[in-house]
Amino acid sequence: MVEASTKQAQIKEFFEFCNANEVEFVDFRFTDIKGTWHHIGFSMVAVDESSFDGIPFDGSSIEAWQSVNKSDMILIPDPIRYFIDPFTADTTVVVFCDVWDIYKNQPYEKCPRSIVKRAMQYLIDTGIGDIVYYGPENEFFIFDSIKMQDSINCQYYEVDTEEGEWNRNKNFEAGSNIGHRPGTKGGYFPVAPVDSLVDIRAEMVKVLNQVGLETFVVHHEVAQGQCEIGVRFGNMIEAADNVQKLKYVIKMVAHLNGKTATFMPKPLYGDNGSGMHVHISIWKKGKNCFAGDSYQGLSDTALHFLGGVLKHARSVAAFTNSSTNSYKRLIPGFEAPSILTYSAQNRSASVRIPYNQGEKAKRMEFRFPDSSSNPYLAFASLFMAGLDGIHNKIDPGKPMDINLFELSLDEIRAKGIKQLPHTLRSAIEEMLVDKDYLKQGGVFTEEFLQVYKAYKFETEIWPWEARPHPFEFISTYSC
């Protein structure tokens, strides 16, 4: 808990920031179970120190939260997590918020940001460490247009990008066709004009820097229209907040350029999908707990953390790969790490130990998550699985320094290697069986897990299972 005097100083600094930047509006933002960012705006003149005690809102209007007869909820602004919105016509400061449950007089069990804060406190309570760092790598697609329809007689979508190989014979403005295209799986690192997204990525980087995100790697990814912009690591809450900022900025810059950006894992059949690789390390008193003398310079603590994630990964996937579309990415042939093992520098494994020479850089890269997940829930579930591994000294087994993409399903089974679930339904069912590790320290509650299950079934799994797929007409119509 932040001491009252510290919080008062932080609030004072916030108002000084607003005065210095001539802020006219304050946008209070919070995240729901799915990961959608919501906001409530106020004129700056209506905001004072008491606003940080709580801002009322209707919790029944947020899916899977409150019933209408107990709908009053409170937003608690975080006085150290804010930035100037680069897209509003009038100067607006965005403030991250947690949700407070007035009926239980405690942080709301279904607030994803509060779950991360409980996980961070649990780390301290265990004595294992005092901070955990996350470095997510979010891949995304930039399209020129998207059309979709979901009706009783039509299930349809169509995305388009000038980079698409399907446009080789298309006439664009003035009858021109640039002819330079990456092709399927051909987009990794080519220069312009094959890479047609250089300038829009540069604009995205500038705006990300403007909102306080330090970027480093910026490049075209493997698929047509696919990109990656890497941002600097932070603690668990900072990293999750930063994913929300990054997704907001990238979508808005694309929108203002007449394009559309998506973090959907698998929008293109037959080309690579988008992941969210997550780098993790735990620190205590300024020292990296993952550095040691075991495999690839890792400590036993790191290997036990890894063992916990591998043991619980099929359950963790309910949060790290939380859409039905996630599992169309996790199939062989598209560089997606669905096999639950680890290796050094081997990108076919679901967990990679990156090459580095210093103790400070020792970490693990979990390659199976994707950006359709709620970053708060994804990061917290990964962490809780790893911490369970440390508590119970779970052995991750031997590394597999081979190209796992070349293994057949029979070979995978013969080696006794587990795979990630093949559907969201399977992942949710795995989580319901293997959930005790999530509830340690009160980080996730049984109520939340049941609500999450019901929400996913009602809004994604059952609707997806009930709808005819266009390919079913190809394979079955003439039966």
Annotated binding site for Mg(2+): 137, 139, 221, 228, 277, 365
Whether 58 is catalytic is yes
Of 144, 347, 391, 401, which one is the catalytic site residue?
A: 347
Closest-CA residue to 267 (of 363, 360, 148, 178): 148
Which residues are CB-contacts of 402 (< 8 A; sequence separation ≥ 6)?
A: 346, 348
Contact 66, 59 (CB under 8 A): yes
Of 29, 113, 312, 367, which one is the catalytic site residue?
A: 367
Of 29, 81, 201, 277, which one is the catalytic site residue?
A: 277
State both tokens at 83: 């930035």
Whether 228 is catalytic is yes
Q: Rounded to whole angstroms, how far apart are CA atoms 230 and 275?
A: 12
Of 78, 109, 139, 460, which one is the catalytic site residue?
A: 139
Torsions phi, psi of 258, nearest 5?
A: 75, 20
Of 98, 109, 163, 228, which one is the catalytic site residue?
A: 228
Q: Could you tell me whether strands 106-107 and 145-151 are parallel, antiparallel, or unpaired per DSSP bridges? A: unpaired
Q: Rounded to whole angstroms, how far apart are CA atoms 339 and 56?
A: 46
Contact 246, 231 (CB under 8 A): yes
Whether 365 is catalytic is yes
Q: Known binding site for ATP: residues? A: 279-281, 347, 360
Whether 458 is catalytic is no
Q: Known binding site for L-glutamate: residues? A: 272-273, 329, 335, 347, 367
State both tokens at 40: 């409530």
Q: How far is CA 53 from CA 56, 75, 123, 197, in A?
A: 10, 8, 27, 44
Q: Rounded to whole angstroms, how far apart are CA atoms 305 and 310?
A: 9
Of 32, 98, 109, 137, which one is the catalytic site residue?
A: 137
Q: How far apart are the first and last CA of the chain?
A: 64
> Roughly what angle, to the nearest 10 degrees, separates helices 236-256 and 375-391?
150
Whether 367 is catalytic is yes
Burial of 40 (0-12, 13-18, 19+ CB in 10 A): middle
Q: Known binding site: residues? A: 137, 139, 221, 228, 272-273, 277, 279-281, 329, 335, 347, 360, 365, 367
- Give catalytic residue positions: 58, 137, 139, 221, 228, 277, 347, 365, 367
